[in-house]
Amino acid sequence: MSRLVEGIFFDDIGSFPLPKGARLEDLSRDQYLSLVRDVLAQKRRAGVEAPTYPQFRDMIRMFMDEIENPDFSEEPYLIKKEHARIMELDAVQPGQKVRVCVTGPVELYISIFGATAYPDILSSLAKSVARFFAASIEAKKMSVASLDEPSLGYNSNIIFSEDEILDALQIASSPCRGMDCEVHLHSPLYAELCASVPGISIVGIESAAHPDYLQLVDRKVLEETDSYLRAGIARTDILALSAALNDQLGVNLWQDMPRLEREILEKESPLVMRKRLEKAHALFGDRLRATGPDCGLGSWPSQELASRLLTNCAAAVRSFRKDVA
């Protein structure tokens, strides 16, 4: 196996369905951590090499509740270092490491202030994000970092300049320099800007649902910035997938869950995923560093179906590694 192919790792984005009937508000802290631990084990059994702790909690509130807590703040929107802790990491077993995703400063900012511009607050949020990463590194539980910025390139409320966004991303990712640190985007429009950030080494693109996105990323820019690509090879937009299948089959698959699962897994088979991986590899070669599903699986109807999608993804990666030298 070539070093190029061997260097591609399989991770997931994070969110995952709750068990049937479970409600977060009914769980004690210990019960919640047990649930996180169980899902991490499910992801590992499915073949995920760098599993993300399951984001059962809202991606904004799980950080902003801590940042906005006056008892935890050093100054407005700057969390004290000792309080920049991600509860889910307490569920990680000794000796294991996970992909740690932290909601990025731009995403956090627009959730609170929308289309207003307070650069000093954006900077404080970026410093808070950096402190969450630094604490995760200190805890020795992080194998891969991810800065989640899904609104970049999509949300018209972002009115900061590119220089201001670049500065915020540099601050937020600064503890991660020298390690695998992804930025998770839903649009490729900011891919090249993110590639220029020293602390970000991998730009994540949702190329399973949007294969044309790969054409919008310049391999030369990745080479010049010594950064890499994460290519999505499994679609996770189950509502769009099922809507297309409903139109094609003339049925409502949501009224027949066993058939929905069969149709989705046939549509997102290991062979289909491998072809997507081959395409990304053909375009980016040694600039392809990571792969996995496009986005999180929190909207999927069951843990079983989500795990089976991850299993298909793992089979595609294994097949690719075996046959591509």
Domain containing residue 37: CATH number: 3.20.20.210
The per-residue pLDDT for 4 is 47
Structurally, the chain folds into a number of domains equal to 1
The per-residue pLDDT for 325 is 58
Q: In the chain, what percentage of residues exceed pLDDT 90?
A: 93
Note the pTM of the prediction, 2 decimals.
0.94
- Rounded to 5 degrees, what are φ and ψ at 50? -130, 75
* Domain ranges, residue 316: 3-323
Pairing of strands 73-75, 9-10: unpaired
The per-residue pLDDT for 270 is 98
Give the pLDDT mean for 168-183: 97
| CA-CA-CA-CA dihedral for 76, 82, 83, 84, to nearest 10 | 90
Average pLDDT, the chain: 95
Cα 80 from Cα 61, distance rounded (Å): 17
